[in-house]
Structure 1
Amino acid sequence: MSELSKCFYEVTAGKTCRDLCHPEYATCWISFFESARRLLPGSFKLYITYLLVPPLLKGGGYTWKYWQEQIASYVGVSFKTYLIAVIGLTFQCVFYKMFGKLNYYWVMGFPGFFSTALTKLSSVHLRLQGITYFNMMSEVMLKKSQIGLVKVLRESKLCGTLLFMLFNTWIMEILQQGTVNQFWVLNPVKVRQPDRNSIDDSRVLGTLYPSGYKACSHDKSCDSYIAHGVLKYSAAGFIIEVAGVVITKFPQLYKDPSKFLTGLRKAVTLKLMLGLAAYNGIYRLVRCLLCRHYGMDHPMHNRIASFLCGASYLLYPTYQVFTLAFTKFIEMSWEHLFKTVDNLPEWAWKLKRIPYLRIVHMIAVGYMYHTLVFHSHLSPPFNSKAINYCSDNRVERLKRRLVGWMLDHEWSKA
Structure 2
Amino acid sequence: MSELSKCFYEATAGKTCRDLCHPEYASCWISFVESARLLLPGSFKLYLPYLVIPAIIKGGGYTRKYWRDSILGYCDLSFKTYVVAVCGLTFQCVFYKLFGELKYYWVMFFPGLFSTILSPKMSKVHQRLQGITYFNMMLEALIKQTNLSLVVALRDSKLLGTLLFMIFNARILDILQRVPVNHFWFAYPVKIKKGDVNSEDDSRVLGTIFPSAHKACSHERSCDMHILDGFLKYSLTGFIIELARFFFNKFPVLMKEPRKFLPEARRSLSMQLMFFFGSYIGAYRLIGCLLCRHFGEDRPINNQIAGFLGGLPYLIYPKYQVLTLAFTKFIEVEWDYYFKTAKKIPGWMRQLDRLPYLRIVLILGIAYLYHTIVFYPHLSPSFNRKVINYCSGNRVERLRRRLTGWMLQNEWNKA
State the TM-score, normalized to the length of structure 1.
0.97
How do residues 179-194 of structure 1 correspond to structure 2 at under 5 angstroms?
179-194=180-195
Task: Report the alpha carbon displacement of residue 276 of structure 1 after superposing the two structures with TM.
Answer: 1.1
Distance 1:280 1:226 in 2: 8
Task: Report the alpha carbon displacement of residue 205 of structure 1 after superposing the two structures with TM.
Answer: 2.3
Match of 1:103 in 2: 103
Match of 2:304 in 1: 303
Contact 1:179 1:336 in 2 (8 A): no
Match of 2:319 in 1: 318
Q: Which amino acid aligns with 1:236?
A: T
Q: Bigger CA drift: 78-87 or 249-258?
A: 249-258
Q: Bigger CA drift: 114-123 or 208-217?
A: 208-217
How do residues 9-408 of structure 1 correspond to structure 2 at under 5 angstroms?
9-119=9-119, 120-408=121-409
Q: Which amino acid aligns with 1:177?
A: R
Distance 1:239 1:37 in 2: 29
Distance 2:359 2:402 in 1: 32
Contact 1:175 1:188 in 2 (8 A): yes
Contact 1:250 1:260 in 2 (8 A): no
Contact 1:179 1:339 in 2 (8 A): no
Residue 250 of structure 1: SS of its match in structure 2? helix
Distance 1:158 1:272 in 2: 18
Task: Report the alpha carbon displacement of residue 57 of structure 1 after superposing the two structures with TM.
Answer: 3.3
Residue 101 of structure 1: SS of its match in structure 2? coil
Say whether residues 1:6 and 2:9 are aligned partners: no
Task: Report the alpha carbon displacement of residue 97 of structure 1 after superposing the two structures with TM.
Answer: 2.1
Distance 1:236 1:325 in 2: 18
Q: Which amino acid aligns with 1:73?
A: G
Q: Which amino acid aligns with 1:229?
A: G
Task: Report the alpha carbon displacement of residue 370 of structure 1 after superposing the two structures with TM.
Answer: 0.5
Distance 1:261 1:247 in 2: 15
Say whether residues 1:411 and 2:407 are aligned partners: no
State the TM-score, normalized to the length of structure 2.
0.96
- 1:199-244 residue CA offsets vs partner (Å, 9 max, x unmatched): 1122222234323311111111222221222112111111221122
Distance 2:228 2:304 in 1: 21
Task: Report the alpha carbon displacement of residue 30 of structure 1 after superposing the two structures with TM.
Answer: 2.1
Distance 1:56 1:114 in 2: 36
Distance 1:407 1:173 in 2: 53
The percent of aligned pairs where both chains have the same amino acid is: 63
Q: Which amino acid aligns with 2:362?
A: H
Contact 2:57 2:234 in 1 (8 A): no
Task: Report the alpha carbon displacement of residue 169 of structure 1 after superposing the two structures with TM.
Answer: 0.8
Q: Which amino acid aligns with 1:336?
A: Y
- 1:293-337 residue CA offsets vs partner (Å, 9 max, x unmatched): 111111001000100010110001111111111110111111111
Q: Which amino acid aligns with 1:395?
A: V
Distance 2:112 2:35 in 1: 15
Q: Bigger CA drift: 45-54 or 310-319?
A: 45-54
Task: Report the alpha carbon displacement of residue 117 of structure 1 after superposing the two structures with TM.
Answer: 0.7
Distance 2:60 2:337 in 1: 33
RMSD, aligned CA? 1.4
Contact 1:9 1:103 in 2 (8 A): yes
Q: Which amino acid aligns with 1:86?
A: V
Distance 1:45 1:233 in 2: 22
Contact 2:179 2:337 in 1 (8 A): no
Task: Report the alpha carbon displacement of residue 350 of structure 1 after superposing the two structures with TM.
Answer: 0.8
Distance 1:365 1:166 in 2: 29
Q: Which amino acid aligns with 2:102?
A: L
Task: Report the alpha carbon displacement of residue 55 of structure 1 after superposing the two structures with TM.
Answer: 2.5
Contact 2:191 2:218 in 1 (8 A): yes
Task: Report the alpha carbon displacement of residue 15 of structure 1 after superposing the two structures with TM.
Answer: 1.4
Task: Report the alpha carbon displacement of residue 262 of structure 1 after superposing the two structures with TM.
Answer: 1.3
Contiguous gaps of at least 5 residues in structure 1:
none
Distance 1:272 1:80, change over 3 A: same
Q: Which amino acid aligns with 2:52?
A: L
Contiguous gaps of at least 5 residues in structure 2:
none
Contact 2:193 2:218 in 1 (8 A): yes
Distance 2:254 2:63 in 1: 32
- 1:349-370 residue CA offsets vs partner (Å, 9 max, x unmatched): 1111010000000000001100
Distance 1:48 1:280 in 2: 24
Task: Report the alpha carbon displacement of residue 153 of structure 1 after superposing the two structures with TM.
Answer: 0.7
- 1:94-151 residue CA offsets vs partner (Å, 9 max, x unmatched): 1122222211111001110110011111112111211111111111111111111100
